[in-house]
């Protein structure tokens, strides 16, 4: 009798990548198989390039562990990590390429954590009484320029000191700086708010440590977030940036597009102020959100 047992070959530094990729060969979902294959090949390539020590690898695991542990219902450290690594911006840019002609998209960011309160056009989203009123007006349009009635516009922003409601629940009621609006029969939406400040992304967690260790500043230029959704159209997730804001040229999350920078113009017109229900003078910004029809 001869021993016919197969002696397996060692998995070596040279063969481990193919061995892992081969292990996914039976994945029923082809997209998942492609994704895992690419992630493993690139991750292994990075490891081969830097040849981490065991201690460095353990530090990396610890960093990711702490990133997860820092997440809670109002804090999303993994989105923040994706943002500061430029992955969020890259994903947005790739997907926007497929809807050319629409308003440029930019990152969701980590503060879209809570559902925005439903509000009527003309309502204020400044529940604490800011120093200077600001009116934001806009429309939701097709790429042909046709207004879309009944489109939903989700808005969220930081206050004049650079804080979102979820960051300072002792100073801002839940829903401050947030609103869910529906466009009128001419595709219009409008609301009252304050001009947001630039702000640092949260630096008290692992992502802040990464920025500190790499001598990067944590600041984002002043902006207001929007998501516009209309039936039969691709939703657009975007911001408007405040012209002249600090950090427009060095956004910590790589999200600035020149097409999204808006003047928040000073307006001194008691008639307009009365129409919008704000004190005179006030500031005014305008954004038309152009959405592309879902392909055929």
Distance CA 107, CA 247 (A): 16
Q: At closest approach, how far in Å is the CB of 277 from Fe ion?
A: 26
Q: Which C-beta is closer to Fe ion: that of 109 or that of 218? A: 109
CB of 113 to Fe ion, least distance (A): 11
Q: Which residue, 220 or 283, has its beta carbon nearer to Fe ion?
A: 220
By beta-carbon proximity to Fe ion, the closer residue of 141 and 285 is: 285
Stretch in the footprint of Fe ion (CB under 5 A) among 109-117, 128-136, 137-145, 242-250? 109-117
Q: Which residue is nearest to Fe ion (CB)?
A: 109
For the beta carbon of residue 120, count every other beta carbon within 10 angstroms: 11
Distances (CA, A) of 48 to 16, 19, 28: 11, 16, 29
Nearest residue to 192 (alpha-carbon basis) of 128, 112, 137, 131: 137
Minimum CB distance to Fe ion, residue 111 (Å): 5
Pick one of 92, 102, 109, 230: the residue that binds Fe ion (CB under 5 A).
Answer: 109
Segment contacting Fe ion (CB under 5 A): 103-111, 132-140, 142-150, 180-188? 103-111
Q: Rounded to the nearest whole angstrom, what is the least distance from the CB of residue 178 to Fe ion in the complex? A: 12
Whichever of 88 and 142 has its CB closer to Fe ion, that residue is: 88
Interface residues for Fe ion in 54-73 (CB under 5 A)?
Answer: none
Binding residue count for Fe ion, defined by CB under 5 A:
1
3-state SS record for 32-100? HHHHHHHHHHHHHHHHHHHCCCHHHHHHHHHHHHHHHHHCECCECHHHHHHHHCCHHHHHHHHHHHCCC
Contacts of residue 122, defined as CB under 8 A and 6 or more positions apart, other chains included, come to 190, 191, 192, 276, 277
Instruction: Report, in Å, the least distance between residue 51 CB and Fe ion.
Output: 38
Rounded distance, CA 124 to CA 174, Å? 14
Which stretch, 50-58, 102-110, 180-188, 268-276, contacts Fe ion (CB under 5 A)? 102-110
Q: In the complex with Fe ion, which residue's Cβ is closer, 109 or 179? A: 109
- Given a contact cutoff of 8 angstroms between Cβ atoms, the answer to whether 247 and 197 are in contact is no
CB of residue 89 to Fe ion, shortest distance in Å: 13
Which residues, in sequence order, are bridge partners of residue 133?
194
CA distance 105 to 91: 10
Should residue 196 be labelled a site residue for Fe ion when binding is judged by CB under 5 A? no
Least distance between Fe ion and beta carbon 79 (Å): 11
Which tokens sit at 118? 């439903």
Binding site for Fe ion (CB under 5 A): 109
């Amino acid at each position: 009798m001869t021993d016919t047992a197969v002696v397996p070959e060692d998995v070596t530094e040279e063969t481990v990548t193919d061995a892992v990729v081969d292990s996914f060969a039976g994945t029923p979902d082809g997209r998942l198989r492609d994704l895992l294959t690419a992630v493993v090949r690139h991750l292994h390539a990075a490891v081969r390039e830097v040849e981490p020590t065991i201690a460095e690898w353990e530090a990396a695991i610890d960093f990711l562990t702490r990133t997860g542990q820092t997440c809670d219902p109002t804090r999303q450290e993994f989105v923040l990590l994706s943002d500061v690594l430029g992955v969020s911006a890259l994903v947005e840019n790739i997907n926007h390429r497929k809807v050319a002609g629409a308003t440029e998209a930019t990152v969701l960011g980590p503060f879209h954590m809570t559902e925005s309160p439903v509000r009527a056009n003309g309502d204020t989203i400044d529940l604490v009484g800011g120093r200077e009123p600001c009116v934001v007006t806009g429309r939701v349009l097709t790429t042909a320029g046709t207004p879309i009635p009944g489109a939903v516009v989700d808005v969220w922003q930081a206050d004049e000191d650079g804080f979102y409601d979820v960051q300072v629940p002792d100073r801002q009621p839940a829903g401050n700086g947030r609103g869910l609006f529906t466009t009128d029969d001419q595709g219009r939406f409008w609301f009252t708010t304050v001009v947001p400040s630039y702000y640092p992304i949260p630096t008290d967690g692992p992502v802040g440590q990464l920025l500190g260790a790499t001598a990067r500043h944590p600041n984002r230029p002043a902006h207001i977030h929007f998501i516009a959704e209309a039936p039969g159209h691709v939703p657009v997730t975007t911001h408007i940036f405040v012209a002249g804001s600090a950090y427009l040229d060095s956004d910590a999350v790589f999200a600035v597009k020149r097409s999204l920078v808006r003047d928040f113009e000073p307006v001194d017109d008691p008639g307009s102020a009365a129409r919008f229900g704000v004190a005179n003078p006030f500031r005014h910004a305008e954004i038309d959100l152009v959405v592309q029809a879902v392909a055929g």
